[in-house]
Chain A
């Protein structure tokens, strides 16, 4: 069997649009097969995954809670990936942002006024940006592979957080579980509609960030710079753009957004700093970014979809006893199919069986 790739003269607009949907369809089919293999009713399971969480208001709120961080991080990653900076350490930047922002309620418990929350958010962004600056610096100055450095720093960040909440930042009044003091109201991100559910302002911040970054990428010169450097660094130099500066810019922007997501999650959803504050948002956000084809507006939808899988997984576990690990499998498969389908944007694929026709 031969698979031939024929390059299209220009990117296919049609496939740019339908590729994520095609990938979703393939994932659903794969999911159905997986459920059958696990001995669970496929249609019921799919309904639990994708439809059930949308049926009740409080569940939709949970969707927003989960989607917020995913969208925030993915929007930052879209700028990184578009400029060919492979930031895989968003999880670590999330954590550092959370730590930096949490320093206010933990170290200055008396500081409780209208400025507390904004300060926390700003520190969160600064913390994430600073942590992201490390792999950026190592890449710009030493040409060290940013995938590996940013990823190694994730492990370091997790260990650092663990040390903090078990040690110097541990709540002395806390019981068996390690964690910081619970944040006071002034240090808690307010909810959007408290009577309906738990969705907090983090989701709103995510939407604002998505629109802002979309505008930035599409309409401004700096956004143009991001795209040029990602597509062709030599042309970027010809245009007078600096690739090393872009490394810093993109990493720190993504770090700031990831840090913002971190502090919003901690102050909005969790209410304290704990040893585990993320169900892998930093990695799932990578999938969100690709599913949204690195377009911040599409990322909003992609983030909501992946948040849906988190909730659906919980629902399926309760109702059908399907392990919540299956969610991870779903998410990984989705990325896999997204990449495969994206190929159709650039190439036509021709599959031939037997020997290719020879010259007459």
Chain B
């Protein structure tokens, strides 16, 4: 181990490069962090730049330690803690700024650059999209360029002399990087427990529903899951993706049932139209899995509850992208044999709350002779004068469904589903809320159905004797478009991009969008979602089923060796010293033959003609042949040069030369 001499002061341009790289790498963090972090970071980096530029004094130890403590306290007060993703990254950002302020020696420069690599990694905690990946690659490039600059001791490199070697290093590192990425054995889970807020992309359905929380979710364009159907895609209006089932009701909020007894796919009284498909679920930090209404199988490791809710075990929520095969029956009958007493939870409601809704339900029941009539009345009612809107007026009162049905009359799926289910219960029909997603969007390029948070939906299931649980979607009564064409069809375009696409007459933008989404899908599947399962699948597809870490390690070594050898050879071919001149080779051989025959060896300073003169005087017998060879050599090397034939002739004559 050798230490580098500490240079008295660092090259200004190199320092500026490092500061710029730091700003670039931290910029995505600064956008999402509290504004004081950005102000603090930019101020400190600016200060350091000023110190380098104007050769100012560094701040004293007192100043830096005061700033350090102040930053730590500010972080604590912002997040009320120091650990966790947001707080941890904030701390790392402010501390790396302070590290820059103390950076005086080459070694501290190196540490700052390594800190920069950590900052690159922390960006991936928040996002792993293609644009961020490309941006971070650019940041790494600048960091490497900075390292190159700092190692050009004694001269300051130009932009090209910085970025070209750095780019060459990165490009030459790519093959080995890909080999490692594909072959490095992936672990099944985290090495230690993670703080709960570690992962991003955890927007999704919650385990409760009250008026307002799904319409907030629907503004998110984030992907919930992707589906690849085997065979034809079922019609759009049957795509109900079943999620959490909410049975408990307190007057405003619907929540999960406490009854966690298991269900069984064998319990279906009717099970027809099986549809096979593969779901790639984005991490949402909750336990449930989504399947088309209703699931016909249970993925390995998951459980099915009696209300047909698919779940992962409680201790392993979906923190990584999860891929599972599914089969669903689109035509089914379930729970017909249930005893009415066991449905008590689905009839319970608080008499004191939403009295007008309860009264309405009871009125429907009184005026009807059977359940079919009750349902008809209910649908007629909801069809009358309700508006489907994403921005419903807030419902603050103790009786939100009364307020919705009789005052505001504007709502979203959870308003309709909630009030409908309550009215059904009041009418004596067991009812419960099912949340999940409805529909999705098909990408024509890869025929994949993409379901977004914007497709979140809530509907009602009611229980009828001899028929069991039936799906009823009151939102369909209000806005049939919602069911047949998705949210965009019902509400018009949401956000900027869809409205541009809506104005795109020939579909160029839509084509670009589809290509981009298909690319993102591949990226998510093969890069971001490259997990242990994916790795196994890839190798079994390639014909190596059941590959283990030993085999992977072996191939890793092989590819390291092959790639390393290829790069070494590539570098050496470019760098081989020019081959010796053939004439020189022949001449040296000639001299060696004479030396072997006893002529005193040619001195380094002795020219060929001088040497010839000495040979002529000491060995007159050789004068003619030696003279011929020498003159040919002098002509080839110092005269007009020699053609290939002449060189071959010279070589031949030297070979045939006999000094004895």
Co-assembled chains A and B: no
Name B residues whose Cβ lies closer than 8 Å to a Cβ of A.
Answer: none
- Spell out A's residues near B (CB within 8 Å): none
